[in-house]
Structure 1
Amino acid sequence: MQFKNPEVLYFLALLIIPILVHLFQLQKFVKVPFTNVAFLQKLAQETRKSSRIKKWLILCTRLLLFSAILFAFSQPYFSDKKTNKNQHTFVYLDNSLSTNTKGEKGNLLQVAAQEIIENSSEKDNYSLLTNNNFYKDINQQELKNRLLNIENTSKKLDFSNILLKISTFQKNKTNTSRKSILISDFQNTYKKMFTNVTPAFSAIKLTATQKNNISIDSVYITNENTNNFLINVVIKNYGEQQNNIPIAIYDQKKLISKQSFSIESNTEKIIKFTIQNQADFLGKITLTFNDTFDFDNTFYFNINSTKKVNVLSIGSNAIFLSKIYTKNEFNFTNYSLKNINYNILQKQQIIILNELENIPEILSKNILDFSKKGGSLVIIPNENSNVNSYNSFLQKLNIGKIKTKISDTLKITSINYNHPFFKNVFSKKVSNFQYPIIKNYYPISSKNSSKIISLENNLAFISQIQNTNNNIYYISSAINRNNSNFLNSPLIVPVFYNFAKLSFKHSQLYYRIDKENKIDIETKLSKDEIVSVSNSDAAFIPIQQILQNKVTLTTKEQPLIAGFYSILKEKDTIKTLAYNYPKEESSMIFMDVNEITNKNITVSSSIKDVFQEINKKNEVHWLWKWFLALAIVSLLLEILILKFYKP
């Protein structure tokens, strides 16, 4: 038994007063002479004994009366919590795409939301966390309204962030009884992340009844001939073998081709479609199959007419550049230092300063302006470079300075395979290849540089220098055949090809929702102009940066729904992009919560049971009414004793 006002019980000590009064209140009996003494002695004894009993009974009833009143005012109760503490329940409800499937009672997300509504308490406060929203300190009615409107989202909340939210919630709540409940399918979540410092919570797993899922994982294109191209569709099967599954490909709403396939259990398969070569193709691939998830049975991709990258080389006539920058992908131009057409500099995506001895002031100013507007730059020094001229130019770019020439024959030995520059270039690391050499070089000193390829003395041969708006690459040595045999190395092609390709990020076949995507759009905008992204259902303005002859868009928070989206400049469509849901949501790998051995985590299979247990522990059984009734009963007993008990 607990008391809301336990300080009132101190007044019980005052009950000693009526006891003392009773003990010291002496009743004097007067003796009267009478002839029959024996009879009078017996009568006096009986009267005195009856009076004492009556007084003890009255004392007991009064003590009971006062005690019951004091206990009633102290407000006693039975409960597992203290009445001066509030109950606050933190609820995480996973509304990712993987919870949009059927369980034993129906749709996993909708059933979970309904059970929370039915079993939540009006007396408690709640905080509701979903993958796309956080509702803090709400009552039951607000909780109900939020849950009635909950929908699945393509956003995935990292589990470590959920645990951090719980930890913060538990620390910030003072004078509050706190409970945390996590309701999820626990997809791709592993028990190793639960340690001894993991905050306490109750885990409730949502389980789908169907255990098979087939998803369209990705799409890529290979050229078959000049008239056709081959679309390769990667299909993944999670579960048992499936046969005769229909698959179709559309150009927007027009059916192009249809076929069926079979796939073995837990395997991956590539389905191929041959499509007539065309400039723009809005492709949609659909699977007709009833499985666990249906959101991954449709896949969008877009084949845009890719514009060529403008590449300008200033310096000696390098034949190797014209072989790398072919006409089908690049607009390559080469000028000597004497006959530069400065009018076309600002129209380029990348400029290569190819072994110039000096960098004239007029060229320096134009390159600086080109660089500030986002143009990429490759700097290759000459064997006889004027160090002062170069350093004056590099200082204006704010990228450091080069040192005097060092004459030493060195091998080019190290490739930074982890650098984004070499993403998807090598299938494996090369440990023994014929190392190219250089005879002299100009080391660069820069705070913001990263090595792409290194010399055997661990100095950079090719480095990327971080700049606010663009990419700047520095090659520390002249690469002509007199000074190096790097031109004969297999590295020459991927290096210079990526110099140009990374200068302009062409739109891809498709993008993933909830991932950071950067897209370059070749257009010119005035200072106050913007581009927007929209389709028939949604529209938003992405993060955008106006650069040299292009606008770089960054999308992550939006869009949220898979499909085709148009990039609009005012009302004109510049380009169309295709977005698909994260492929991780198609996985059928789920954590077995029953294997969790962490003492801070309790596992349950029922939302109703967890909430009822919390509500039961928070129930308060007040006893003051019973003590008040006892006080009344004791008062009535005293009245009855005084009226009817005659000593």
Structure 2
Amino acid sequence: MQFKHPEILYVLFALIIPILVHLFQLQKFKKVVFTNVAFLKKIDLQTRKSSQLKKWLILTSRMLLFTAIIFAFSQPYFSTKNTAQNIHNSIYLDNSISLNSIGKKGKLLQVAAQEIIENVSDEHSYSFLTNSDFYRNVTATELKNILKKVDFTTKNLSIQEVLLKIESEKLNKTNSLNSITLISDFQNNKKIKNNEFTNVTVPISLIKTAAELKNNISIDSIFISNKNERNFTLNVVLKNQGPEKTNVPISIFNDTKLISKRSFSIENDTKKTIDFEIQNQSHFRGRIKIQNNDVFLFDNDFFFTVNFGEKINVLSIGKNNDYLQNIFTDDVFVFNQVSSSKINYNIVPKQQLILLNEMDDIPSTLSNALTDFVNNGGSLVVIPSISATINSYNSFFSRMNIGKISKNQQDSLKITKIHYDHPLFKNVFTKQVRNFQFPRVISSFNATFKGTPLLSFENNQSFLSNLTVGNGELYWFSGALSTVNSNFTNSPLIVPTLYNIGQSSLQTSKPYYRLQERNTIEINASIGKDQVVSIQNLRSSFIPLQQNSQNKISILTTDKPDKKGFYQIVSKDTLQTISYNNPSSESMVDFMNINELSSQNSNITSYDSIASYFEEENQKNEVQWLWKLFLALAIVSLLLEILILKFFKT
């Protein structure tokens, strides 16, 4: 039993007063003398005993009366909580698009929101968190109004992020009884681990929402191959989670125009790639659509774009080499080779990649142009000649403030180390190569550059290194690549190395991007210094993070946009069309077992429904007041005293 006003109980000490009154102010008996006292002695004895009994009964009833009144005013109650404590419940409702599926009562998100509205208590306060919003310290009425407007989002929070946000509010106050309620479908893409809950002392309740269907076919990804002047091959990767499916229709659209349609079959729990031959068009705004009734419908269509005119400008200055022409092919690059005496300096700023290919000397005019080119965001590859003039090269390097080179060392060395962790070699090798015919270099230059090595000799000196200079990149080969000095051009390393350097100089737009991911987009265009680009469609528009240089525009998107579809990159005119699709992780039908998680942690309780959770919580926090019972006891005590005074004869 607990008391709302326990300080009133100190009045119980005052009950000693009626006890003293009854003990020291007893009624005194008068003596009357009779001749025959034998009978009177007997009467006197009986009267004294009856009178004392009556007085003790009256004392007891009055003590009970005052005690009951004091207890009634202190307002006693039974409850698991203290009435002085405020009950605060932090509720997380997962509103990711995976909850846009059908459960027993309807769409999971709307059903969850409605059940919360029907069960929240007006006596409690709440903090309400979704993947997109956080409402702090709201009343039940405010919470109901918020829940009526809750909608889906492509944003997704991990359980760890949810708990950190709630804990950051520091709700564990002395006068608050806090709890955390997490309502989600608990897809395994959240990667929930038991140790994420170890630092949380507040009780946590997990409520899982479940869809009726458990199978799903999704468009996992697409890629373009065999791209030429006439057509290209669209490769559509489909993913099946569940039993085998047959005769599923799939259609390809260019805007609203139907390009191709067929049906496919796919085995249980597998991926399948379907190829479509599509005729080239200037701009292809593609949409893929499958017709299948499964758990998730949002992944049954997919947006992509193909920009045929977008290529990377590459210029080689110095020695002409056939192997460069074979690497920088015209399907991806616009490649040109010129000698140092025939350079058109007007085209230098328009390049994305320039190769300084085995020149003996670097003229000062070219040195100035290349320095500006790199500082403004261009990529430069420097391949020295065997007979390079060290002073000329050092003069160029000093302009860039990157260090210097020293005399050519005549020591044949093997290139034995590939730095696989460098972004340039990402997805190039399926595994680290051990048995490999390593290329050899006869002579090389020592350099003091503090760059990142990409390829290294057997003595751990760098053969190819990467340096960031201003807004651009510089790649330094420490030795000439001519066949008289090295067999590197005959090595399998030459193609992925130079090709990836070329592609990294301008990150041309991909066929599609994923929402809520870090996406870098570079456009081969230039705008004025005071101009900005925006990304927009018919529904929304925003200005992304961007960096303008003389030869490209770099754009970064993360949390925006938030809806899939086609978007235009716009300055004064439309520069490019790109497309976004939902995160592929939202299509998973793999969900975690919250009962197993709760069995491993005593601080966690799992529930099958929102209604059962709130019913238990309301019963647990229900207050059973006892003051009426004590008031009734006081009235009974008063009536008992009246009865004793009226009917008890002494």
TM-score interval, normalised by the smaller of the two chains? over 0.9
**Secondary structure in structure 1 of the residue aligned to 2:561:** coil
For 2:626, which of 599, 623, 632 is the aligned residue? 623
TM superposition shift of 1:612: 1.7
Which whole-Å CA distance do the structure 2 matches of 1:292 and 1:340 have between them?
A: 61
Which whole-Å CA distance do the structure 1 matches of 2:190 and 2:349 have between them?
A: 52
Which whole-Å CA distance do the structure 2 matches of 1:78 and 1:568 have between them?
A: 67
TM superposition shift of 1:67: 1.6
TM norm structure 2: 0.93
Tell me which residue corresponds to 2:473: 471
Given that 2:374 and 2:470 are in contact with CA atoms closer than 8 Å, whether structure 1 keeps it comes out as no
Tell me which residue corresponds to 2:494: 492
TM superposition shift of 1:73: 3.2
* Alignment map for 1:228-247 (pairs within 5 Å): 228-247=231-250
Given that 1:309 and 1:349 are in contact with CA atoms closer than 8 Å, whether structure 2 keeps it comes out as yes
Which whole-Å CA distance do the structure 2 matches of 1:89 and 1:149 have between them?
A: 20
TM superposition shift of 1:421: 0.8
Tell me which residue corresponds to 1:96: 96
Question: Does residue 321 in structure 1 map to residue 324 in structure 2?
Answer: yes
Tell me which residue corresponds to 2:575: 574
Which whole-Å CA distance do the structure 2 matches of 1:262 and 1:247 have between them?
A: 11
**Residues 546-586 of structure 1, C-alpha deviation per residue, up to 9 Å, x if partnerless?**
1223211111111111111111113x222111111111211
Which whole-Å CA distance do the structure 2 matches of 1:634 and 1:83 have between them?
A: 29
| Change in CA separation of 1:142 and 1:171 when aligned onto 2, cut-off 3 Å | closer
Given that 2:127 and 2:136 are in contact with CA atoms closer than 8 Å, whether structure 1 keeps it comes out as yes
Question: Does residue 609 in structure 1 map to residue 612 in structure 2?
Answer: yes
Tell me which residue corresponds to 1:264: 267
| Change in CA separation of 1:480 and 1:637 when aligned onto 2, cut-off 3 Å | same
TM superposition shift of 1:190: 7.8
**Secondary structure in structure 2 of the residue aligned to 1:432:** coil
Amino acid at match of 1:119: N
**Secondary structure in structure 2 of the residue aligned to 1:343:** coil
Tell me which residue corresponds to 1:34: 34
For 1:254, which of 247, 253, 257 is the aligned residue? 257
Tell me which residue corresponds to 1:504: 506
Given that 2:189 and 2:588 are in contact with CA atoms closer than 8 Å, whether structure 1 keeps it comes out as no
Amino acid at match of 1:17: I
**Secondary structure in structure 2 of the residue aligned to 1:296:** coil
TM superposition shift of 1:632: 4.1
Which whole-Å CA distance do the structure 2 matches of 1:206 and 1:399 have between them?
A: 58
Bigger Cα displacement from structure 2, 349-358 vs 138-147: 349-358
| Change in CA separation of 1:251 and 1:94 when aligned onto 2, cut-off 3 Å | same
TM superposition shift of 1:319: 3.7
Tell me which residue corresponds to 1:340: 343
| Change in CA separation of 1:150 and 1:209 when aligned onto 2, cut-off 3 Å | same
Given that 2:185 and 2:210 are in contact with CA atoms closer than 8 Å, whether structure 1 keeps it comes out as yes
**Residues 243-294 of structure 1, C-alpha deviation per residue, up to 9 Å, x if partnerless?**
1111111111111111112212112222222222222111111111111111
| Change in CA separation of 1:563 and 1:191 when aligned onto 2, cut-off 3 Å | closer
| Change in CA separation of 1:402 and 1:67 when aligned onto 2, cut-off 3 Å | farther
Given that 1:190 and 1:591 are in contact with CA atoms closer than 8 Å, whether structure 2 keeps it comes out as no
Which whole-Å CA distance do the structure 2 matches of 1:456 and 1:543 have between them?
A: 42
**Residues 297-340 of structure 1, C-alpha deviation per residue, up to 9 Å, x if partnerless?**
10111111232322222333334323333344333333433443
Given that 1:411 and 1:455 are in contact with CA atoms closer than 8 Å, whether structure 2 keeps it comes out as yes
Bigger Cα displacement from structure 2, 593-602 vs 609-618: 593-602
Amino acid at match of 1:457: N
Amino acid at match of 1:476: S
Gaps of at least 5 residues in structure 1 are none
* Alignment map for 1:131-146 (pairs within 5 Å): 131-146=131-146
**Residues 102-161 of structure 1, C-alpha deviation per residue, up to 9 Å, x if partnerless?**
111211111111111111111112222222222222221222122211112112222332
* Alignment map for 1:192-591 (pairs within 5 Å): 193-195=193-195, 197=198, 199=200, 200-223=203-226, 226-447=229-450, 449-467=451-469, 469-570=471-572, 572-591=573-592
| Change in CA separation of 1:191 and 1:281 when aligned onto 2, cut-off 3 Å | closer
Amino acid at match of 1:520: E
Question: For this pair of structures, how many residues does the alignment match?
Answer: 645
Tell me which residue corresponds to 1:148: 148
Bigger Cα displacement from structure 2, 559-568 vs 433-442: 433-442
| Change in CA separation of 1:190 and 1:216 when aligned onto 2, cut-off 3 Å | closer
TM superposition shift of 1:186: 1.5
TM superposition shift of 1:189: 4.8
Bigger Cα displacement from structure 2, 17-26 vs 280-289: 17-26
**Secondary structure in structure 1 of the residue aligned to 2:340:** coil
Which whole-Å CA distance do the structure 1 matches of 2:88 and 2:386 have between them?
A: 73
TM superposition shift of 1:639: 4.9
| Change in CA separation of 1:358 and 1:63 when aligned onto 2, cut-off 3 Å | farther
TM superposition shift of 1:5: 3.0
| Change in CA separation of 1:108 and 1:462 when aligned onto 2, cut-off 3 Å | same
| Change in CA separation of 1:299 and 1:35 when aligned onto 2, cut-off 3 Å | same
| Change in CA separation of 1:404 and 1:22 when aligned onto 2, cut-off 3 Å | farther
Given that 1:349 and 1:548 are in contact with CA atoms closer than 8 Å, whether structure 2 keeps it comes out as no
Given that 1:163 and 1:198 are in contact with CA atoms closer than 8 Å, whether structure 2 keeps it comes out as no
Gaps of at least 5 residues in structure 2 are none
Bigger Cα displacement from structure 2, 397-406 vs 127-136: 397-406
* Alignment map for 1:180-191 (pairs within 5 Å): 180-189=180-189
**Secondary structure in structure 2 of the residue aligned to 1:295:** coil
Given that 2:374 and 2:469 are in contact with CA atoms closer than 8 Å, whether structure 1 keeps it comes out as no
**Secondary structure in structure 1 of the residue aligned to 2:421:** coil
| Change in CA separation of 1:84 and 1:404 when aligned onto 2, cut-off 3 Å | farther
**Residues 214-243 of structure 1, C-alpha deviation per residue, up to 9 Å, x if partnerless?**
111111222276533222211111111111
TM norm structure 1: 0.93
Given that 1:170 and 1:178 are in contact with CA atoms closer than 8 Å, whether structure 2 keeps it comes out as no
Which whole-Å CA distance do the structure 2 matches of 1:515 and 1:606 have between them?
A: 33
